[in-house]
Chains A and B, each alone.
Chain A
Amino acid sequence: NAGVTQTPKFQVLKTGQSMTLQCAQDMNHEYMSWYRQDPGMGLRLIHYSVGAGITDQGEVPNGYNVSRSTTEDFPLRLLSAAPSQTSVYFCASSYSEAETQYFGPGTRLLVL
Chain B
Amino acid sequence: QKEVEQDPGPLSVPEGAIVSLNCTYSNSAFQYFMWYRQYSRKGPELLMYTYSSGNKEDGRFTAQVDKSSKYISLFIRDSQPSDSATYLCAMLSNDYKLSFGAGTTVTVRA
Contacts and interface: CB of A to CB of B under 8 A. Distances in A.
Interface residues of B, number: 21
A105 B42 contact: yes
Given A40-B8, A42-B103, A98-B92, A103 B45 contact: yes
Interface of B: 4, 6, 8, 34, 36, 41-46, 49, 88, 90, 92, 96, 98, 100-103
A74 interface: no
A100 interface: yes
A45 B98 contact: yes
A97 B102 contact: no
List of 6 A-B pairs having minimum Cβ-Cβ separation, nearest first: A103-B43, A42-B100, A97-B96, A43-B100, A42-B102, A103-B44
A43 B88 contact: yes
A106 interface: yes
Nearest to A41: B102
A67 interface: no
A100 B88 contact: no
Interface in A67-112: 90, 92, 97-98, 100-106
Nearest to B90: A43
A44 B4 CA distance: 12
B43 A90 contact: yes
A69 to B, nearest CB: 23
Given A42-B88, A103-B36, A104-B43, 16 more contacts: A40-B8, A41-B102, A42-B4, A42-B6, A42-B102, A43-B90, A45-B98, A90-B44, A92-B43, A98-B96, A100-B34, A100-B46, A101-B46, A106-B41, A106-B42, A106-B43
